Amino acid sequence: MNADLLRQISFDKAGLVPAIAQQHDSGEVLMMAWMNADAVTETLESGRVCYWSRSRAALWRKGESSGHVQKLVDFRVDCDGDTILLLVDQTGVACHTGRHNCFFTSFKDGKSEVIADVMVSPEDMYGKPADPS
Amino acid sequence: MNADLLRQISFDKAGLVPAIAQQHDSGEVLMMAWMNADAVTETLESGRVCYWSRSRAALWRKGESSGHVQKLVDFRVDCDGDTILLLVDQTGVACHTGRHNCFFTSFKDGKSEVIADVMVSPEDMYGKPADPS
């Protein structure tokens, strides 16, 4: 039955669509990653968010190595079908740097500023330095 | 001085980067569009959000025809520099369909459902049927 839903998504030439993850209750935008049709199908069927890692060219089950999984709360598609918004319940932190979300650099008055602290060290999450996917 | 900031952004092969617009006070994710370096520069300098329209291959000053502008509140870049999060103050509605945000289609139990009403008719916004950019 997900085939009908997949037809409503406009994947790009590489077969991918950007997916924004937002914490369902706080509204915090956690991260943006990419999905292919298999990642969409797995996410809808399992209720746990699965992306497509462009660097590894493989399905990326968020939290598989770190335990910091994203439980799917709602799956939304935008008006022209080319962007997905995932409302999720994030366990732990979303960012591979150990921050709660990935958008911790702010540009203002010609300068950039880091506006969030590391909550978990990447070594504690992965047993090694950070790898974005 | 924005040249230093531009170097922190990883534009793709087409010279573009995805930009998520979020209402700064409510946390509502409004839309996702694309920016090139000129759109980033103009947005930072003017304080009004300007995207790059891929369909028109031109700068897209959001709200130029509809009046539904986005005032920039904060400009954030993610951990690997390849996605932008714009905290904005949206005048009127963000979506070309006349809905407040673009993510009004929810996928659940194998079906899609429209979960938001049209607030302003596209004809009232543009004087003609909806054009996404």
What is the average pLDDT across B49-73? 96
Beta strands in B1-133 (DSSP E): 17-23, 29-35, 50-53, 58-61, 70-77, 84-90, 105-108, 111-114
3-class DSSP state for residue A124? Answer: helix
Query: If you average pLDDT over every residue of chain B, what do you get?
Result: 94
B chain contacts of residue A118, beta-carbon cutoff 8 Å = none
Nearest CA in chain B to A8: B112
User: Does A126 reach chain B within 8 Å, measured CB to CB?
Assistant: no
Q: Average of pLDDT values for B55-69?
A: 95
pLDDT surpasses 90 at A1: no
Q: Would the CB atoms of B107 and A75 count as touching at under 8 Å?
A: yes
pLDDT at B133 > cutoff 70:
no
Residue A30 in any domain: the answer is yes
By C-alpha distance, the chain A residue nearest B80 is A132
Reported confidence tier of residue A131, pLDDT bands at 50, 70, 90: low
Question: Is there a domain that residue B120 lies in?
Answer: no
Q: Please compute the mean of the pLDDT values over residues B74-78 and round it to a whole number.
A: 98
Say if A75 is an interface residue toward chain B (CB within 8 Å).
Answer: yes
Q: Is residue B34 part of a domain?
A: yes
Instruction: Name which of A1-10, A12-21, A41-50, B77-86 the model is least confident about.
Output: A1-10
Residue B44, domain CATH: 3.10.20.810
Q: What is the pLDDT of residues A52-67, one digit of tens each?
A: 999 999 999 999 988 9
> Residue B76: pLDDT above 70?
yes
The answer to whether residues A28 and A41 touch, using CB atoms and an 8 Å cutoff, is no
Q: With contacts defined as CB-CB under 8 Å, which chain B residues touch A77?
A: 103, 105, 107, 112
User: How many domains does chain B divide into?
Assistant: 1
B124 appears as a binding residue in the annotation: no
Using CA atoms, how far residue A102 sits from A23, A105, B91, in Å, is: 13, 8, 27
Closest chain A residue to the Cα of B131, Cα to Cα? A80
CB contact under 8 A, A77 and B4: no
Q: What is the pLDDT of residue B82?
A: 98
Enclosing domain of residue A72: 2-92
Q: In terms of pLDDT, which residue wins out, A123 or B113?
A: B113
Q: CB–CB of B97 and A79 under 8 A?
A: yes
Q: Does A3 touch chain B (CB under 8 A)?
A: no
Give residue B1's pLDDT: 57
Asked whether residue A43 is assigned to any structural domain, the reply reads: yes
Q: Is the pLDDT of residue B92 over 90?
A: yes
A9 touches chain B (CB under 8 A): no
Q: Is residue B104 included in any domain, yes or no?
A: no
Contacts of A18 in chain B (CB under 8 A): 18, 32
By the CB < 8 Å criterion, does A129 face chain B?
Answer: no
Interface A-B: count of C-beta contacts within 8 A? 116
CB atoms within 10 A of CB A66: 18
Rounded Cα distance between A117 and A120, Å, is: 9
Residues in chain B: 133
Q: For residue B1, what are the contacts with CB-CB under 8 A and spacing of at least 6?
A: A110, A111
> Nearest-CA residue of chain A relative to B115?
A76
Structural domain contains residue A131 = no
Q: How confident is the model at residue A3 (pLDDT cuts 50, 70, 90)?
A: confident
The answer to whether residue B3 scores a pLDDT higher than 90 is: no
Residue B80 lies inside a defined structural domain of this protein: yes
CB distance A105–B8 less than 8 Å? yes
pLDDT at A127 (0 to 100): 79
Structure tokens at A108: 């203002």
> How many Å apart are CA A39 and CA A44, to the nearest integer?
9
Let me know the angle formed at the C-alpha of B115 by B111 and B121, rounded to the nearest 5 degrees. 125
pLDDT band, residue B84 (cuts 50/70/90): very high
Contact B79 A99 (CB under 8 A): yes
Among A69-73, B57-61, B128-132, the minimum mean pLDDT is found in: B128-132
Rounded to an integer, the average pLDDT of B49-63 is 97
Determine whether the annotation assigns residue B50 to a binding site: no
Q: How confident is the model at residue B125 (pLDDT cuts 50, 70, 90)?
A: confident
**Which residues in chain B have Cβ-Cβ distances shorter than 8 Å to A28?**
27
In the predicted model, what is the mean pLDDT of residues A5-28?
97
B125 domain residue, yes or no = no
